[in-house]
Homo-oligomer: A and B are copies of this chain.
Amino acid sequence: MSNDDTAPGIDRRTLVSILASLPVLSGTLRATPAQAQVSASDPLASWNDGPAKQAIVDFVRATTDRSGPNYVAPEERIATFDQDGTLWVEHPIYSQVVYCLDRVPAVVAKKPELKNVEPFKTVLSGNREAIAKLPLRELEKILVATLTGMSVDEFNAEARKWLESAKHPRWNRPYTELVYLPMLEVQRYLRDNGYKTYIVTGGGQDFVRVYAEKVYGIPPEQVVGTMGGTKYGYGKDGKPFLTKEPKLLLNDDKAGKAQGIHLMIGRRPYAAFGNSDGDREMLEYTKAGGGARLAMLVMHDDDKREYAYGPARGLPATKVGAFSTALDDEAKTKGWTVISMKNDWKRIFPFDSEARAG
């Protein structure tokens, strides 16, 4: 396998470092999908007043004012959102990576000959240090084994089942509850103003589609992610079905996000939201269009309520969703708005009580 056509679903560059911070295998508890409780009076009720909130309101006003110079026709109103770290928690590691590791026992149960074969043997051992030392080529085998080789329907069922039972180690809640209420409000506010909202994620397109409609109100056809090929075949009953193949069509990260937007949407967004260096090109591509364009970056600077990582502004360095000083500088130069989780967000999660907020 070449470097370019394996590893569907994950940015391989970050994999090694991600695995260094492995969580325990997740427990079981039924998930309740998060629902935004948006005040009727203020569509952005979870936002503190400030430049970030103002930028969103100004953008919506400018692009929906028919008499203004920056009016955007309804069919052109496209807004794109990165997912990991922008819409939901990405630390200590991406949820989809946890999914892949959690799936290893099931894969080995079906193919017992893998039990003593690397990298499966090491993953089954649960030895974090050893897992982190696995070579990239070996780690790719885990992704291929857990994300491909099954039918689309089987994959969807497996992912759905996992999402209903897996829990984040810090909050002991399903991953689908760890979504940022202020971003749910932005999505709804944009949709209420005629915007079509898309997820544009480095995560696997098929994985995110499983829950995007329930969690974000974003249908499968509006999820752009890292894309793998499929194969058309027939079951014993003669019915056709698609099998997920270990063939990478597009790594939807960095420049791949602009490419993915062109491929899947065919229009340039008017608003784009991200949180890391992987979103740089998406914001740049968005801003390169004419008229009013909104580019925003979530900065994780709230260790108390969520996490703090940069390395921009002296925040702790990370390889999971890094926000570099270069990105921060570019944001200043180009008029991209940085959202401070600590200062701009009154509440972080839908389950945060109003009382605890602020």
Is A152 part of the contact surface with B, judged by Cβ < 8 Å?
A: yes
CB contact between A239 and one of B259, B262, B265, B288 (< 8 Å): that residue: B288
Contact A221 B152 (CB under 8 A): no
Question: In angstroms, how far is the closest chain B Cβ from the Cβ of A243?
Answer: 10
Q: When chains A and B are docked, how far (Å) is the Cα of A213 from the Cα of B249?
A: 27
User: For chain A residues 258-295, which have a beta carbon within 8 Å of chain B?
Assistant: 258-259, 262-267, 281, 284-285, 288
Question: In angstroms, how far is the closest chain B Cβ from the Cβ of A147?
Answer: 15
Contact A232 B259 (CB under 8 A): yes
**What does the 1/0 interface line of A298-325 toward B look like (CB < 8 Å)?**
0000000000000000000000000000
The count of identical subunits is 2
Contact B249 A232 (CB under 8 A): no
CB contact between A219 and one of B75, B229, B288 (< 8 Å): that residue: B75
Residues in B with CB closer than 8 Å to A60 are none
Question: In angstroms, how far is the closest chain B Cβ from the Cβ of A291?
Answer: 14
CB contact between A230 and one of B152, B231, B262 (< 8 Å): that residue: B262
Q: When chains A and B are docked, how far (Å) is the Cα of A239 from the Cα of B268?
A: 14
CB contact between A213 and one of B75, B231, B232, B255 (< 8 Å): that residue: B75
Is A227 part of the contact surface with B, judged by Cβ < 8 Å?
A: yes
Residues in B with CB closer than 8 Å to A266 are 205-206, 209, 219-221, 223
Known: A232-B258, A249-B249. A263 touches B220 (CB 8 A): no
**What does the 1/0 interface line of A197-234 toward B look like (CB < 8 Å)?**
00000000110010001000001110100010111100
List 17 contacting pairs A-B, 8 Å CB cutoff, sorted by A. A196-B221, A205-B263, A205-B266, A209-B266, A219-B266, A220-B267, A221-B265, A229-B250, A230-B262, A231-B259, A232-B255, A232-B281, A232-B285, A240-B288, A249-B250, A249-B263, A264-B264
- Given A242-B262, A264-B264, 9 more pairs with CB closer than 8 A: A205-B263, A205-B266, A206-B266, A219-B267, A220-B265, A221-B265, A229-B259, A231-B259, A232-B281
